[in-house]
Amino acid sequence: MGHLHEHNHSHHHHHNEAEGNIRFAFLLNLLFAVIEIAGGFITNSVAILSDAVHDLGDSLSLAFAWYFQRVSKRGRDERYSYGYRRFSLVGAMINTVVLFAGSLLVIVESLRRVIRPEEADARGMFILALFGVLINGLAMLRLRRGKSLNERTVGLHLLEDVLGWVAVLAGSAVMMFVDVPVLDPLMSLAISAYILFNIYRNLRQLFRVILQGAPSTPSQADVEAAVMEVEGLAGIHDLHLWSMDGEYIILSAHLVVKPALGAADIARLKQEVKGRLLGLNIRHCTLEIENEPEDCEFRDSCCT
Question: Counting beta carbons within 10 angstroms of the beta carbon of residue 25, is it exposed (0 to 12), middle (13 to 18) or buried (19 or more)?
Answer: buried
pLDDT of residue 13: 45
Q: Virtual CA dihedral for 76, 82, 83, 89, nearest 10 degrees?
A: -170
Q: Is the dihedral of CA 249, 254, 255, 260 positive or negative?
A: positive
In the predicted model, residues of the chain with pLDDT beneath 50 are 1-15, 147-149, 302-304
Q: Is the dihedral of CA 264, 268, 271, 277 positive or negative?
A: negative
Q: What is the DSSP string of 121-157?
A: -HHHHHHHHHHHHHHHHHHHHHHHT--SHHHHHHHHH
Contact of 113 with 28, CB cutoff 8 Å: no
Question: Helices 2-43 and 149-177, interaxial angle, to 10°?
Answer: 20
pLDDT of residue 303: 43
Rounded Cα gap, residues 209 and 243, in angstroms: 6
Strand pairing partners for 194?
none
Rounded Cα gap, residues 139 and 281, in angstroms: 28
The model carries a pTM of 0.65
Number of C-alpha atoms within 13 angstroms, CB side, residue 247?
13
pLDDT of residue 56: 77
pLDDT of residue 2: 46
Domains and CATH numbers, the chain: 2-210 (1.20.1510.10), 220-291 (3.30.70.1350)
pLDDT of residue 302: 46
Closest residue by Cα to residue 253 from 285, 283, 278, 282: 285
pLDDT of residue 251: 92
Rounded Cα gap, residues 42 and 128, in angstroms: 11
